Amino acid sequence: MHSIRSNNHCSFNLYNDNNQILKYSCFCGKAFNLTELYYCNGCQQINCRYCITEEIDFHYCPNCIENLNSAEASVNGNKCKKCFECPVCFNTLTYSVIGSKDVNTVTSPPTAGVTSPTTTAATPTTGETYFLNCGFCKWNSLDLKDEFKFDMPSLKAKKESSIQQLQVNKSIEALNKEAAELTSLKDKKTINRIKLAQAMKHFLGPQSKHQKHNQRKNFNKVEDRWESTSMAHPVPHNHLVPTPPPGQTLLSEAAIAQRVQPITMTEADQMQQQRIDAREFETLDPLGDTVKYDDDITPFLRDQVTECDQVSSLDQRFKNIAHSSLSTSSIHPQRKHLITKRSKRCKRCDKLLVKSEISLTKTEFKRQHFAFTYVPRVQITRVLWIDNDIFEVFLQFTNPLHIPLFINFPMSIKGSFISTDDNSQPIDLCEHETYINGILDETDDLEKESIIQTLKQNENPRYIIDRKDNKLTMKFIGKVGIEEEQIAPKDNNNNEEITNLTIIHLTESLANLSTSTEIPKFNSQFKDIKFTITLEFSTSSLSTAPSTSSSTTTADKQQKTLLKLLFDIPSNKFENTLQQ
Amino acid sequence: MQIQPKYFEKTQYIETLNGNKVSKGSILCGIMNIRLHGKTIIKPGVIVRGDLANVNIGRLSTVSENTVIRPSYKKFKGAVSYFPLNIGDHVLIEEGCVISAASIGSYVYIGKNCVISKRCILKDCCYIPDNTVLPPDTVVPSFTTFSGTPGRYIEDLPDCFEQYMKDYTTSIYESFLPINTLSKGRS
């Protein structure tokens, strides 16, 4: 199997150039930075983010750090009850008092850390009214209607409902009722209808999975849910979704009256089929007269606008789905979206990899199986050219565990030594097993101790440069260009094929060039040197001297983990690349 | 790549018994109110306004060039009162920042040219990339990235960020060496 360098997912790894150089291959072949990987103890393998399943532990508001369970979050449309977001710059809004001359700002909800003053503005008089205020762009809710003025700070918003929303709520209610009635029947055809009704409901107002069982209880809450949920845009073309007739918006009263009709059985089946067929986006003819965008600026509005700030941006309109307005003066603040804490499981054996504490103030985990704390960490300490197209890499291995780790560079593996995009390969590396000390310099059993002693005696100073605490520095020699026989045929999906690594021992004088004082400069063929080093590690001795490798028991095999390190070193990181 | 060692001239830095390295080119106002908990590096051009309120900086933290650390204030009944500023352990603050937060947790990274406005609260394990402006009273929860102007929630951090920052800040401290030891080869 060929490993592929994948783009790091986290932006913090993208900002840091160093985190792009070395990637660790997951069992599935995708390679990421070490920080983004997990290590499953059960199957002794690395898990990338495609090899884990996530489940939401709880939701919390990023501003007031209040955690809610999924049911609570769903009732409020996955939004915080107290915190508002500025409609213009999306900053969190603060509550301020109307009337007082020096505007007394009250930090919106009582947050942890700084205790916000509870007694602001002398004595709280009875008639105090609060409004929302943005500390960044100076937007405030004074110009809006009374719905964003409150008697108390940190009070939830009043219900708002436009004609369109009420119409949709009615149709959801009808569907809900129908679904509830149909659940009592056990007809095959009715099941289809239930499914359809549920699909419609899901589309119109996302609900949590728990609500299947207590739909009746939630009838009255539909209204709340609709006004507070938002959907991703653009939505793929779907026949179940009514398309607006030209000149009208989707949710205008006429359009809804036209669309909402009783559904017959055949229609239901047909619609379901169409749903399956309609997995593609509708192509629009931009020149055709039939397409009329309802957000086209009318000539009237065009004359009024004097500054481009007066027209709302797409971002601002997407946040304001319910009443997306053309002008920034009439867009409303939105309640803050909740974010989630998730636990992660291994996809292969369903073992729990990461589970965080319920408390949000702690950063500890109930369970933490990060690759960062289980897999030897590798750093490049030095890389240089020793001849044309031959380079030398010094790698520092760090053992994150308390017990010694045994590592070995296998000479033959199932699959390929070469990864996709590789332009170089290692040609001279340590063939014998070696070890890295643990953080604590003590070994629990004598057997390990004796193995370490023998390994230490046999160790080749040519490859092993330095040993310090839980760190080990080793030397590798690689060359630009790939030997053909080491590339497993790509079209062959049989991953069981064994490939071998050829070792070329370089002459001592060449290999020791790095220690000489003056290093000649060399030209680099490629901008980036990409190669792969394959490594096995285990907490117990691998005992894989080349002669005995065939006789290793299956128990041993399960304990060691095969690790592929994918390097991508820019040529300017080499000490002696000729500058062009 | 391993972090390349950075060398400093011994005469330009004051080293304390518990391993703090404070540049003589930095301005520490109200030195009585500033507490460094050990192994902290303060680079030249840094201004710490200890005269306004107490400033605590935790272990193995680094404050880079030209950063201003200035405790935040709030008006109470017309009078201005300053909050003490606490910075946790393993915090890395890059060049040219203005920090007026109320508190900064441990394992926090703040990129170049960031503005952390008044009374912001940064919890443990968070990441603020370069050129971010956090508006006043922003709360940054654990394991999140906030970026942009104004700073907004962008994404979650990898779960091992705490271990990563421990490793990173420790290696930064260890590779910050006095120039005299240059000859004693680190290969």
Which pLDDT score is estimated for A37? 92
Mean pLDDT for chain A?
73
- Backbone phi, psi, residue A129, to 5°: -125, 140
Residue A19 has pLDDT above 50, yes or no: yes
Instruction: Give the 3-state DSSP-derived string for A383-447, with helices as H, strands as E and coil as C.
Output: EEEEECCEEEEEEEEECCCCCCEEEECCCEEECCCCCCCCCEEEEECCCCCEEECCCCCCCCCHH
- pLDDT of A44-102, one tens digit each? 889 988 889 888 888 999 998 888 888 788 777 778 888 888 888 889 988 887 765 44
Q: Which residue has the higher pLDDT, A535 or B128?
A: B128
CA dist., res. A116 & res. A107, Å (int):
6
pLDDT band at B57, cuts 50/70/90?
very high
Residue A228 has pLDDT above 60, yes or no: no
Query: Which one of B1, B78, B124 has the shortest CB-CB distance to A363?
Result: B124
Cβ–Cβ gap B2/A396 under 8 Å? yes
Residue A171 has pLDDT above 60, yes or no: yes
Residue A519 has pLDDT above 90, yes or no: no
Query: Residue B35 forms beta bridges with which residues?
Result: B56
Residue A242 has pLDDT above 50, yes or no: yes
Which pLDDT score is estimated for B116? 95
pLDDT band at A245, cuts 50/70/90?
low
- Give the residue from A466, A30, A479, A570 showing the smallest Cα distance to B1: A570
The nearest CA of chain A is from the CA of B103 a distance in Å of 7
Half-sphere exposure in the Cβ direction for A65 (13 Å, CA): 20
Which pLDDT score is estimated for B16? 92
- How many CB atoms are closer than 10 A to CB A94? 26
pLDDT band at A390, cuts 50/70/90?
confident
Query: Residue B42 forms beta bridges with which residues?
Result: B22, B63
Q: What is the mean pLDDT of residues B26-55?
A: 94
- Measured CA to CA in angstroms, residue A50 lies from A23, A57, A264, B53 at distances of 15, 19, 42, 48
- Measured CA to CA in angstroms, residue A10 lies from A23, A135, B101 at distances of 13, 29, 25
Structural domains of chain B, with CATH = 6-174 (2.160.10.10)
Buried/exposed code over B42-51 (b: 16+ C-beta within 10 A; e: otherwise): bbbbbebbbe
Please name the residue that has the structure tokens 């009070």. A155
Residue A283 has pLDDT above 90, yes or no: no
- pLDDT of A568-578, one tens digit each? 888 888 888 77
Alpha carbon B70 to its chain centroid, in Å, reads 12
Structure tokens at A504: 């070329």
- Backbone phi, psi, residue A554, to 5°: -65, -30
Cβ–Cβ gap B129/A12 under 8 Å? yes
Which pLDDT score is estimated for A256? 65
Q: Which residue has the higher pLDDT, A175 or A369?
A: A369
Complex-level ipTM beyond the 0.90 threshold? no
Query: Residue B9 forms beta bridges with which residues?
Result: none
Is any Cβ of chain B less than 8 angstroms from the Cβ of A394? yes
Is any Cβ of chain B less than 8 angstroms from the Cβ of A91? yes
Cβ–Cβ gap A15/B167 under 8 Å? no
Q: What is the mean pLDDT of residues A185-207?
A: 64
Annotate A28-58 with DSSP letters as a single string.
Answer: TSEEE-GGG-EEETTTTEEE-TTSEEEEEEE
**Amino acid code (one letter) for A463:** Y
Query: Which one of B1, B75, B136 has the shortest CB-CB distance to A135?
Result: B136
Query: Which one of B2, B135, B159 has the shortest CB-CB distance to A381?
Result: B2
pTM exceeds cut of 0.90: no
The nearest CA of chain B is from the CA of A100 a distance in Å of 12
- pLDDT of B90-128, one tens digit each? 999 999 999 999 999 999 999 999 999 999 999 999 999
**Amino acid code (one letter) for A107:** T
Q: What is the mean pLDDT of residues A144-153?
A: 65
Mean pLDDT for chain B?
91
Which pLDDT score is estimated for A516? 63
Q: Which residue has the higher pLDDT, A161 or A411?
A: A411
CA dist., res. A15 & res. A19, Å (int):
8
Query: Which one of B76, B150, B161 has the shortest CB-CB distance to A91?
Result: B150
Query: Which one of B76, B78, B164 has the shortest CB-CB distance to A372?
Result: B164
CA dist., res. B141 & res. B135, Å (int):
15
Handedness of CA B124, B125, B126, B127 (dihedral sign): positive
DSSP secondary structure letter of residue A327: B
- How many CB atoms are closer than 10 A to CB B62? 22
Residue A366 has pLDDT above 50, yes or no: yes
Which pLDDT score is estimated for A194? 67
Which pLDDT score is estimated for A265? 79
Highest mean pLDDT among A223-227, A356-360, A438-442: A356-360
CA dist., res. B76 & res. B73, Å (int):
9
Cβ–Cβ gap A15/B111 under 8 Å? yes
Is any Cβ of chain B less than 8 angstroms from the Cβ of A395? no
pLDDT band at A217, cuts 50/70/90?
very low
- Give the residue from A281, A195, A268, A202 showing the smallest Cα distance to A238: A281
The nearest CA of chain B is from the CA of A7 a distance in Å of 15
Which pLDDT score is estimated for A10? 83
Is any Cβ of chain B less than 8 angstroms from the Cβ of A92? yes
Name residues whose C-beta falls within 8 Å of residue A406's C-beta, 6 or more positions apart in sequence. Answer: A433, A434, A435, A451, A537, A538, A539, A540, A541, A542
Cβ–Cβ gap A339/B144 under 8 Å? yes
Structure tokens at A417: 């030594």
Query: Which one of A90, A113, A372 has the shortest CB-CB distance to B102?
Result: A113
User: Strand runs (DSSP E) across A517-576, as ranges?
Assistant: 528-538, 561-570
Is any Cβ of chain B less than 8 angstroms from the Cβ of A576? no
Q: What is the mean pLDDT of residues A197-210?
A: 59
Structure tokens at B97: 């920042």
Structure tokens at B83: 């909050």
pLDDT band at A234, cuts 50/70/90?
very low
Name residues whose C-beta falls within 8 Å of residue A565's C-beta, 6 or more positions apart in sequence. Answer: A22, A23, A24, A25, A378, A532, A533, A534, A535
- How many CB atoms are closer than 10 A to CB A84? 24
- pLDDT of A466-484, one tens digit each? 888 888 998 888 888 877 6
Query: Which one of A35, A65, A137 has the shortest CB-CB distance to B139?
Result: A65
Cβ–Cβ gap B187/A465 under 8 Å? yes
Which pLDDT score is estimated for B13? 93
Bond preceding residue B135 cis, omega within 30 of 0: no
Is any Cβ of chain B less than 8 angstroms from the Cβ of A112? yes
- Backbone phi, psi, residue B95, to 5°: -70, 150
Grouping H, G, I as helix, E, B as strand and the rest as coil, residue A534 is strand
CA dist., res. A404 & res. A444, Å (int):
10
- pLDDT of B150-183, one tens digit each? 899 998 999 899 999 999 999 999 999 998 655 5
Q: Which residue has the higher pLDDT, B182 or A359?
A: A359
Is any Cβ of chain B less than 8 angstroms from the Cβ of A566? no
DSSP secondary structure letter of residue A264: P
CA dist., res. A398 & res. B116, Å (int):
35
Residue A167 has pLDDT above 50, yes or no: yes
Compare all CA atoms of chain B with the CA of A108 and give the residue at the minimum distance: B137
Task: Please report the number of interchain residue pairs, chain A to chain B, with beta-carbon separation below 8 angstroms.
Answer: 130
Cβ–Cβ gap B135/A135 under 8 Å? yes
Q: Which residue has the higher pLDDT, B133 or A170?
A: B133
